[in-house]
Amino acid sequence: MTIEKWGDIKEKIKSSFEVLDESVIKDEERFEKTEIIEFNGPMGKMKVEWITRPKVLDKKTNYSNRIGSSVSVDYVYSDNEVTHTFKVYKAEGEAWQEINAGAFA
């Protein structure tokens, strides 16, 4: 999904449904930003997430063959390329159940 399509979906939700909550969460450790909109939709209470994070260029695993040693993973992120993830959830009691977002694209 493209940024333009996300903007269209966001505007359609705001104009068609009752928005319960809208927030942006930034995770400095993982370098990602998540936009969240909760609303009363056609299937009850729903939530959409748009996650933006830098593209992973390389993953380096540091380990030793000695018993009891630890393993660490270092990621190399792109400075100018990002990836986007679109997720849709519906409320199932107190929990959120993920819906296949491909049905909305």
Is 72 part of a structural domain of the chain? Answer: no
pLDDT averaged per 10 residues in sequence order, the chain, 105 residues = 91 94 92 95 92 93 82 89 93 90 60
Q: What is the pLDDT of residue 98?
A: 92
Alpha carbon separation from 64 to 13, 68, 69, 70, 75 (Å, rounded): 51, 9, 6, 7, 18
Which range of residues forms the domain containing residue 27? 3-53+81-103
- The reported pLDDT for the residue numbered 101 is 59
What per-residue confidence (pLDDT) applies to 93? 87
Does 91 map to a domain?
yes
60 within domain boundaries: no
100/53 Cα distance (integer angstroms): 21
Rounded to whole angstroms, how far apart are CA atoms 18 and 68? 54
Residue 43 in any domain: the answer is: yes
Is 59 a member of any domain?
no
User: pLDDT at position 70, please?
Assistant: 85
What is the predicted pLDDT for the residue at 71? 87
Pairing of strands 44-62, 72-92: antiparallel
CB atoms within 10 A of CB 16: 11
Indicate whether 75 belongs to any domain: no
Q: What is the DSSP string of 44-71?
A: EEEEEEEEEEEEEEEEEEE--SSTT---
Residue 17 lies in a domain: yes
Structure tokens at 55: 């593209």
State the total domains in the chain: 1
